A and B are shown apart, each in its own frame.
Chain A
């Protein structure tokens, strides 16, 4: 299994600003993922964070809006840039730790005013 922490757990931000979310895993993992869950909706995959290379983004998500870093095998950040109220969501990171099971962080609840 893997234990994942995220910072911050929640934040309220002003329109036009940026927020960086951190994801820390207690073990080295190859694959880390970032998801978004808009209010009342299911989870949508934003991107796969690759160590040592650029993240792989899903359709509808771009690097300029959601830059991702993956400096090592236990850490990743997701930045939500130039925020608008539509970015208000829960952002979750997850990892695939050896088995086929994914482990999720507790999420970062973001409100953009």
Chain B
């Protein structure tokens, strides 16, 4: 896999607001995945979007993928304090099965 680059590095919002995080990548992908890490704990897989998909929803999460721009975005609607975490995108190509390369992530803080 290749390293996705998240933007912004940090995001601070109020509860109830929407949070948008962006990810850019460099190579061709099979899929792109978003993970969440709460305060230095284990990672949780949030959503996977395949290269032939443009948008995907899961609960309050919406992910878009623009392969022409090599970019993806993660939107969290109606944020909650519990959404406070680091968010990582990981692009997965075809040659490095299972090996994930993480970028620095976006640190999201949701204030109650």
Contact = CB atoms under 8 A, between A and B. Distances in A.
Are these two chains actual partners, yes or no? Answer: yes
Interface of A: 4, 31, 33, 37, 41-45, 48, 58, 90, 92, 94, 96, 100-107, 109
Interface of B: 30-31, 33, 35, 40-45, 48, 88, 92, 97-105
Dominant secondary structure at the B interface: loop
B83 to A, nearest CB: 18
Contact of B45 (A33, A42, A102): A102
A25 B69 CA distance: 38
Contacts of A92: 42-43
A105 B45 CA distance: 12
A106 B42 contact: yes
Dominant secondary structure at the A interface: strand
B7 to A, nearest CB: 14
Contacts of A43: 43, 88, 100, 102
